[in-house]
Chains A and B, each alone.
Chain A
Amino acid sequence: MNQRKKTLVIFVGAVLFLVVVTVAGVFCYDAARVTDFSRKNLSPCGQYLFGTDWMGRDMLTRTLTGLSMSILIGMCAASISAIIAFVLGVMAAVLGNKVDSVISFLIDMIMGIPHILLLILISYALGKGFKGVMLGVALTHWPSLARVIRGEVLQLKNSQYIQVAYRLGHSKMKVAMKHMVPHLLPQFIVGLILTFPHAILHEASITFLGFGLSAEQPAIGIILSESMKYLITGKWWLAVLPGIMLVLTVVLFDVAGGSLRKILDPSSAHN
């Protein structure tokens, strides 16, 4: 098996795992909210692989549901974010200097504020909950990708085939859509996938801090913040197993993004 095939296998494996977790979580949603006080505080065993918490909730279903909620919110938010980045990036590069300086300023400004702070502000202002987290993550994660795309477009503008297209009398819009966008797509997709882990971690963080999803939701941030109170009594499984799953998910997204870049990158096509 050559390098390329190996990468492809890793990519497919990672994506498969994430899809399975997401789908399983969606189906577990109701089970994750069931409380049964007759089985509270059980450590991990055959029947409850991740143990149960102080209200007798099955931690495996809670973890899966929490992860899948995080993944879904993260994906939606990251996609919105990436679209914003794409539009602004292309606009900055194509529409001339004035627009460019405004957008560059916006990018610098948002990047200048710590992510988590801005996230909390936006989420709190929108009344927390699903809407707050979603928009919070969506509105904070676009600048770095926008910058990459803007840079890429600026470079493209000076390339010969674009210049030729202009000389042939094509409109700015047509050149952008027909000649630039296809060229940008690989960067865009890789950038998008690499935004997922950020978005997921940030969703988990603000929920953990109490500015995100509501306490009755089986979100991963809620699970982790609740577990903090019980660590002192030795209930390690409440924090450790969901924590490992969260890290695993984030790492796999990173791996998937990385492998995808290798596959799409023309310079490594022959490895």
Chain B
Amino acid sequence: MKRKLIAILCMVTMSAALFAGCGGGNSEEGQDSTQGEATALDGESVIVTMPTTSEPEAGFDPAYGWGAGEHVHEPLIQSTLTTTTKDLKIDKDLATDYSVSEDGLTWTVAIRDDVKFTDGEPLTAEDVAFTYNNCVENSSVNDFTMLKEAVAVDDATVEFHMNTPFSIWPYTMATVGIVPEHAYDENYGQNPIGSGRYIMKQWDKGQQVIFEANPDYYGDEVKIKKLTVLFMEEDAALAAAMAGQVDVAHTAASLAEQEIDGYSLLQVSSVDNRGINLPTTMPVEKDGMVYGNQVTSDIAIRRAMNIGIDREEMIENVLNGYGTPAYSVCDKLPWYSDEAEVAYDLEGAKKILDDAGWVEGDDGIRQKDGAKAEFTLMFNPDDSVRQSLAEDFANQCKALGIAVTTEGAGWDVAYDKAQSQPLVWGWGAHTPMEVYNIYHSLPDTGSAEYSPYANETVDTYMDEALQADDLDTSYELWQKAQWDGTTGITQEGDIPWIWFCNVDHLYYVRDGLQVAEQKIHPHGHGWSIVNNVDQWSWGE
């Protein structure tokens, strides 16, 4: 009897504690939402969420990936020499003029002389030269092997001496934030000083970064005075938006069906593509690793899959319609060749396979010379979109008579395995170098870096593009590398990669906040959205 009494007492206390806990949570939430509204009302600050992976591990130092690297964006704290425009052409920021010598080996850039770092020191050509030389020596994320050295000719002129001609140098200049020579040390990434639109005020690692407008900024007036970036996963961002704690919350297609009062969904088109590599060579073992894949080395298989998959259906199934079909790694960018576009044609795909001698067996899977048309497609297990794409691709391949099995593979093993098995990748950058990195063969292996492939003509076009005199000529050459009328990397060419879709970047935006028009977002769902945060505004 006594025991029961104690048990009942315990239960009562516990449930009381539980209710008290809930009550506390509610009142806290109430406070927070008023805080959120306060930010909305003062009209000068925004709170934006980003994935936890967007937090720069090495700090806000351009030499170690801030603004550059895999996920390109404007560095906000620092100024760059050039910038990219909405259609991904080149505009000027610090630079007032730039030119390249006839042999392509010297770039001369004139810079503004009225720019000051936020500590009051003027920004000179010395700082620019220092920044680039520092990158050449230390950059762990960007390739600076084409640059020999940067030299300050006078206070307002810099010369870049190149090892090899590099026509797309303006795109590199658009990603490197200029750091002050006098205030640069190994801790720069933690307390960055720049001349850009914002000053980093506070960084709580693992949680948030707070930026405040630079009052002495030389460009257009910075309208949003305070930017707070919170790092959290998509589900937490959704919860934060539901509680009214943030102004812009990043989200994914699978969560975007949720409607939140006071927020609307912003859909930003991107070149954040997803595609798979198809090793084009027969399997060979080298140093304990297999290079090549028997099935995908048959061009008929690659061509049939490229036109035999319905990209629209894939986007509807996996992305709930929030995406666009992708035909190359650089859709919609100035160096994209629209020859890459193909129409969905299931019957045509089947015909290609029939003609190539792939005959359907009893189990519905095609065979040729005793080999079955089957392979394993890998995906990153932490990414539900890539997993769904892999599954949907496998389902669609069944109709073609190709058996695709899916397998989760973490990044620790995926790069090596991708040399012999297709993998779902995500790419998309604001520079044509990406086309080069994916399709150009490496000198020491004679094969492309991420998946076995080599085509001399394609290589030559890309080499020529890098040596071109001006950007417009180089765009044409990049396009020819994709398809020149006889060979290339498109359907009629070698088709060593198949591209599925460009994933739209989705955000919940608080009503009343006008997010300025975005340029096509590159790969990475993070900093791109705040590229032009200074031009956002609050209104009715």
Binding site for B on A (CB under 8 A): 35-37, 40, 54-55, 210, 214-216, 226, 228-233
- Greatest chain A CB density within 10 A among B233, B317, B409 is at B317
A232 and B255 contacting across the interface, CB-CB below 8 Å? yes
Alpha-carbon gap, A165 to B254, bound state (A): 72
Binding site for A on B (CB under 8 A): 233-235, 238-239, 254-255, 257-258, 316-318, 379, 381-382, 384, 387-388, 391-392, 394-395, 406-409
Set of chain A residues within 8 Å of B239, measured between Cβ atoms: 232
A233 and B257 contacting across the interface, CB-CB below 8 Å? yes
Set of chain B residues within 8 Å of A215, measured between Cβ atoms: 379, 381-382, 387, 408
Alpha-carbon gap, A21 to B381, bound state (A): 27
Q: Quick one: closest A residue to B234, CB to CB?
A: A229
Alpha-carbon gap, A230 to B379, bound state (A): 20
A228 and B235 contacting across the interface, CB-CB below 8 Å? yes
A214 and B407 contacting across the interface, CB-CB below 8 Å? yes
B32 to chain A, nearest CB (A): 17
Q: Quick one: closest A residue to B237, CB to CB?
A: A232
A216 and B384 contacting across the interface, CB-CB below 8 Å? no
Majority secondary structure, A binding face: loop
Q: Quick one: closest B residue to A229, CB to CB?
A: B235
Known pairs A54-B254, A55-B388 / 5 extra A-B pairs, C-beta < 8 Å: A37-B388, A216-B407, A228-B235, A229-B384, A230-B255
B176 to chain A, nearest CB (A): 36
A123 to chain B, nearest CB (A): 13
Set of chain B residues within 8 Å of A55, measured between Cβ atoms: 387-388, 391
A231 and B235 contacting across the interface, CB-CB below 8 Å? yes
B408 and A233 contacting across the interface, CB-CB below 8 Å? no
Set of chain B residues within 8 Å of A233, measured between Cβ atoms: 238, 254-255, 257-258
B274 to chain A, nearest CB (A): 15
Alpha-carbon gap, A221 to B350, bound state (A): 39
* Known contacts A214-B381, A233-B255; A35 and B408 CB within 8 A of each other: no
Alpha-carbon gap, A155 to B445, bound state (A): 69
Q: Quick one: closest A residue to B239, CB to CB?
A: A232
Set of chain B residues within 8 Å of A35, measured between Cβ atoms: 388, 391-392, 394-395
Q: Quick one: closest A residue to B405, CB to CB?
A: A216
Q: Quick one: closest A residue to B256, CB to CB?
A: A233
Set of chain A residues within 8 Å of B394, measured between Cβ atoms: 35
Alpha-carbon gap, A230 to B388, bound state (A): 15
B318 and A37 contacting across the interface, CB-CB below 8 Å? yes
B492 to chain A, nearest CB (A): 30
Give the residue of A210, A214, A230, A231 whose beta carbon is less than 8 angstroms from that of B254.
A230
B265 to chain A, nearest CB (A): 14
B391 and A226 contacting across the interface, CB-CB below 8 Å? no
A229 to chain B, nearest CB (A): 6
Alpha-carbon gap, A217 to B510, bound state (A): 39
- Greatest chain B CB density within 10 A among A54, A214, A216, A228 is at A216
Alpha-carbon gap, A216 to B386, bound state (A): 12
**Shortest 6 CB-CB distances between A and B: which pairs?**
A215-B381, A215-B408, A37-B317, A35-B391, A232-B235, A214-B408
Set of chain A residues within 8 Å of B317, measured between Cβ atoms: 37, 40
